[in-house]
Structure 1
Amino acid sequence: MTADIYVTAAFKSTHENQAYIFMKNEYILEDYAPGQFGDRILRGPDRIRNVFSSLKDTVFGDKGIDCAFASQDEGDAYIFSGNICAKWFYAPDSPNDKFLQGPKLIVEMFPFLSETVFENGVDAAFESSRPFEAYIFKGGEYACINYSDNSHLIGIGPIRQNWPCLKSTIFEQGFDGAFASHIPNQAYLFKGDSYGLIQFTPGNTNDDLLWSGLIKDNWKSLGSILPRKN
């Protein structure tokens, strides 16, 4: 029996209030209308390989995207599938998407993740409001990384200790996808048929879970196409 597929990865676009949302090897471009009603699908659902020529005949177009986060470099994102990752120019206003680095092993792109839970895959990620920093998650673990030319590990540990607002919630032991909002220091988390919105504070644990619930009840455009059977 084919398992239900919900959000597996996402990242915010360079265009205000727009995000690329992935369901394994499918995607949509979404106007997520933060803080208001009126969310809508702008493009898709469609197969990744049918839209992004650079991803055709790669692990990302075939098996799909497991995790992603937008780069500080405009129009770029880091994408992950299994133990493979790449820095990718997604060409928001043209068909000229291309790889900038990779595809390569996660530990080749980020050597400091060797011998951590992240060397064989990342479940979810979103970028910090601090330049060239991102949060990555796998199971109940998280890490804060710097992905600049001088990339390095900033911190690592259990979600429940470092994100107190997620303790005793469905997100405590991990989630499937995430993306940073265009509203500073806010991010959306996805787990199965549910999602949450958090307010985070880089550098400390003064975070707040602003809302959580079922996608179908509060995110109408996304709920209208989920789950997928791809």
Structure 2
Amino acid sequence: MVDAAYRIPGKNEYYIFAGRNYGRVRFTSNSHENSLVAGPTLIRKGWNTMSKVDFGRVDTVVPVPGTENQLYVFFGGRYIKIKLDNYDDSFVTDGVHHIESGWKSLVQAGFDTVDAAVLVPGTKNEIYFFRGLNYVRVDNATDKMARTVTPIKDGWPSIAKAGFDTVDAIVPSLNHEGHFYVFSGDQYAVIALDHNKEDTLVAASKLISDGWKSMDKWV
């Protein structure tokens, strides 16, 4: 399964995290063809920041809204804020932080850990967070819930139609603006999400190994 995915700004590439390993996957422009260009490598060996805070695995990676090449990385009940510069990672804020002290909105939502997250299209500061069967929309600038906690099956018809109860990772498509890959278990689907927060299923669920050849045998 894919634990987390991050689209690398300015490149046709993703970081994919699975178990204790990660890899860098490259897509051919305007194509679904993809290849593994780096890895799989142990997270502890390839990421300076994660090694320093003892992150052997990753639950969620999501860009920091309104910033360039900064991202939040969640593992268990903790998170770090880092910067990625030409594949080199460094801390934006020193050390590791706990969700319970750094994200009052997630605590209020009852999210002690995070399964997946994605920026909300058409907003400057909002993030969708997924945990178990539920999700919540959070304003990163104010650390407040922009919408109450809602079951995924009720708020995301595209994900429900794909047959997914939970979300392991969600990441924007490289080749289609407004399209997103959603991973759950050993499968993935493609959805469209517009600025009105309306979502539709673009491509039905299929095995990750069928659509992402680059992940074969290690995810």
Q: Give the TM-score normalised by structure 2.
A: 0.88
Cα root mean square deviation, aligned:
2.0
Q: What amino acid maps onto 1:42 in structure 2?
A: V
Distance 1:168 1:144 in 2: 21
| 1:160 Cα offset (Å) | 1.2
1:209 aligns with 2:204: no
Q: What amino acid maps onto 1:196 in structure 2?
A: A
Distance 1:225 1:177 in 2: 19
| 1:168 Cα offset (Å) | 4.6
Q: Name 2:144's counterpart in structure 1.
A: 152
Equivalent residues in 2 for 1:3-42, closer than 5 Å: 6-33=1-28, 36-42=31-37
Higher strand share: 2
Residues 71-98 of structure 1 deviation map (CA, whole Å, 9 limit, x = unaligned): 231111111111101211133x153522
Distance 2:190 2:29 in 1: 10
> In structure 2, which of residues 85, 91, 95 is the aligned counterpart of residue 98 of structure 1?
91
Q: Name 2:218's counterpart in structure 1.
A: 226
| 1:166 Cα offset (Å) | 2.1
3-state SS of paired residue (1:153): strand
Contact 2:82 2:89 in 1 (8 A): no
> In structure 2, which of residues 76, 97, 117 is the aligned counterpart of residue 125 of structure 1?
117
Query: CA 1:108–1:35 in structure 2 vs 1: closer, same or farther (change >3 Å)?
Result: farther
3-state SS of paired residue (2:110): coil
Query: CA 1:35–1:214 in structure 2 vs 1: closer, same or farther (change >3 Å)?
Result: farther
Q: Name 1:187's counterpart in structure 2.
A: 180
3-state SS of paired residue (2:182): strand
Q: Name 2:41's counterpart in structure 1.
A: 46
Contact 2:22 2:41 in 1 (8 A): yes
Contact 1:126 1:187 in 2 (8 A): no
1:177 aligns with 2:193: no
Q: What amino acid maps onto 1:97 in structure 2?
A: S
Contact 2:103 2:143 in 1 (8 A): yes
Distance 1:36 1:30 in 2: 13
Query: CA 1:89–1:136 in structure 2 vs 1: closer, same or farther (change >3 Å)?
Result: same
Structure 2 alignment gaps of length 5 or more? none
> In structure 2, which of residues 60, 63, 74 is the aligned counterpart of residue 80 of structure 1?
74
Distance 2:140 2:95 in 1: 14
Query: CA 1:17–1:128 in structure 2 vs 1: closer, same or farther (change >3 Å)?
Result: farther
Q: What amino acid maps onto 1:31 in structure 2?
A: R
Residues 2-59 of structure 1 deviation map (CA, whole Å, 9 limit, x = unaligned): xxxx210111111232111101321111113475132111211101111111211423
Contact 1:10 1:178 in 2 (8 A): yes
